[in-house]
Amino acid sequence: MVQVILPAHLRTLAGVSGDVWLELAPPVTAAAILDAVETRFPPLLGTIRDAQSRKRRPFVRFYACEEDLSNDDPDAPLPAAVAEGREPFWIIGAIAGG
Amino acid sequence: MSQVRLLVGTRKGGFVLTADGRRKDWTVSGPHFGGWEIYHMKGSPADPNRIYASQSSGWFGQVVQRSNDGGQTWAPVGNQFVYEGATRPHKWYDDTPHPWEFKRVWHLEPSARDPDDVYAGVEDAAIFRSQDGGQSWKELPGLRSHGTADGWHPGAGGMCLHSIVLDGRRIYTAISAAGCFRSDDGGASWKPINRGLHSQYIPDPDAEVGHCVHHIALHPARPNTLFMQKHWDVMRSDDAGDHWTEVSGNLPTDFGFVIDVHAHEPETIYVVPIKSDSEHYPPEGRLRVYRSRSGGNEWEALSRGLPQQHCYVDVLRDAMSVDRLEPCGVYFGTTGGQVYASADAGDTWTAVAHSLPGVLSVEAQTLP
């Protein structure tokens, strides 16, 4: 199981109160996580990445294992600790605007 | 007894204010969608409990919310606004070509007869329509593919389609900073309707397009008469926008954003003069609504109950509305978070909310 932590606004929009756990077949990638999140929570379509281009929205970041993975290839396998559920995959609303 | 419901969109959420027909005691609910910008909320004339809300954020983009119970509960509907086909770029601020990019929904306009039929005015300027209650959106591409569109520039707030007025198969829209457009065939084809507008801030002050129209308003009993608050100048047209004449008259300044029409008197109109395009607050720090009972030119200041010193708020383009009770109620919200209500057509005013986030829009619903 993969643990995904959504920012507060997206938890509200998705109607969930805590972390999200997803069953994903390997390889576990950022794109696969986002596909699964959008399928399970349709209101989040377009809020994390553009629905057509699938490009990450500029003020959304992806962190895991104390690394910023935002600009990594979304189809690259994530660290084993994320795939095995030992570390969460964070979807972050960037600190911006003061 | 009748009720009035105010739908107030703010920088940090939506609020619903309700009162009975006396309009003295108001109940405030919200924030709905706290922390998100709510550019506009509007109810369906065919079913007032059907309300649409435009929810957006610089982080997470656009969401459209729908309520079927008068704003008590909400559910997100479709948020995919995909431009139809290839279109030549529009102009950017520096005159360079710029591709069309969807940013947000500025205005939602439900149709008169079907609660599932709703139009959306968006940035970058285009008009979309949903006929399934907001689940899916389809552009009316005739507007954005108009021959002038590659010369449209954004205004300071972006290139937004902010005003939609429906009159059967006739549709009026206004775009900053392109001007007004009219369709007589349900949105299939469009023509600019800016003749008579004079804007000294553009190279050709009398150009066919390029005018920074801030808002337009129409009384249903006079479908050929339009009123406009332009960047500078208050204007009217009596031929469905084909020709405009200035009616700023004795206003202390004719810059402003809002304009609206009395519910029962088609020649009674309201504006809130703002000092200038570089000083977005009331002249002399005194918040005054101006009313004309003659369709413009002759204006009277309405200030009873409004702050008359040290007031430096703005009133944005969609932040004024009227109810349909007798006497007509008039409402507006400010960037300082106040919502003012008048239950006597503007003669006296009361702040019915004091400290909301900056108000982006106000829509009044008159309920049985």
Q: Give chain A positions within 8 Å (CB) of B59.
A: 7, 9, 57, 59-60, 93-94, 96
- Is residue A98 in some structural domain? no
Full residue range of the structural domain in which residue B143 is found = 3-367
- Residue A10 scores a pLDDT above 90: yes
Mutate to test the interface with B, among A6, A10, A11, A13 (most CBs of B within 10 A): A13
CB of B73 within 8 Å of any CB in chain A?
no
Tell if the CB–CB gap between A57 and B59 is shorter than 8 Å.
yes
User: How far apart (Å, rounded) are the C-alpha atoms in residues B21 and B316?
Assistant: 26
DSSP state of B350: E
Closest Cα in chain B to A50: B61
- Is residue A59 in some structural domain? yes
Tell if the CB–CB gap between A48 and B60 is shorter than 8 Å.
yes
Tell if the CB–CB gap between A52 and B82 is shorter than 8 Å.
yes
Full residue range of the structural domain in which residue A10 is found = 2-93
How would you list the strands of the sheet with B234-237, edge to edge?
Answer: B213-218, B226-230, B234-237, B245-246
User: How far apart (Å, rounded) are the C-alpha atoms in residues A43 and B120?
Assistant: 18
- pTM for the full predicted model: 0.96
C-alpha distances in Å from residue B319, one per residue of A39, B141, B315, B357: 37, 28, 6, 13
User: How far apart (Å, rounded) are the C-alpha atoms in residues A7 and B229?
Assistant: 40
- Model confidence at A97, pLDDT cuts 50, 70, 90, reads low
Q: Tell me what pLDDT residue A75 has.
A: 97
Number of domains in chain A: 1
Rounded mean pLDDT of chain B?
96
User: How far apart (Å, rounded) are the C-alpha atoms in residues B273 and B234?
Assistant: 10
What average pLDDT does this structure show over B236-249?
Answer: 98
- Model confidence at B87, pLDDT cuts 50, 70, 90, reads confident
- Is residue A31 in some structural domain? yes
Q: Can you give the CATH number for the domain in which A69 is found?
A: 3.10.20.30
C-beta separation of B4 from B21 below 8 A: yes
> What pLDDT digit, counting tens, does each position of B23-49 carry?
999 999 999 999 999 999 999 999 999
Q: Tell me what pLDDT residue B155 has.
A: 86
Q: Can you give the CATH number for the domain in which B121 is found?
A: 2.130.10.10
Tell if the CB–CB gap between B60 and A51 is shorter than 8 Å.
no
Closest Cα in chain A to B55: A13
Tell if the CB–CB gap between A47 and B36 is shorter than 8 Å.
no
Q: Tell me what pLDDT residue B88 has.
A: 86
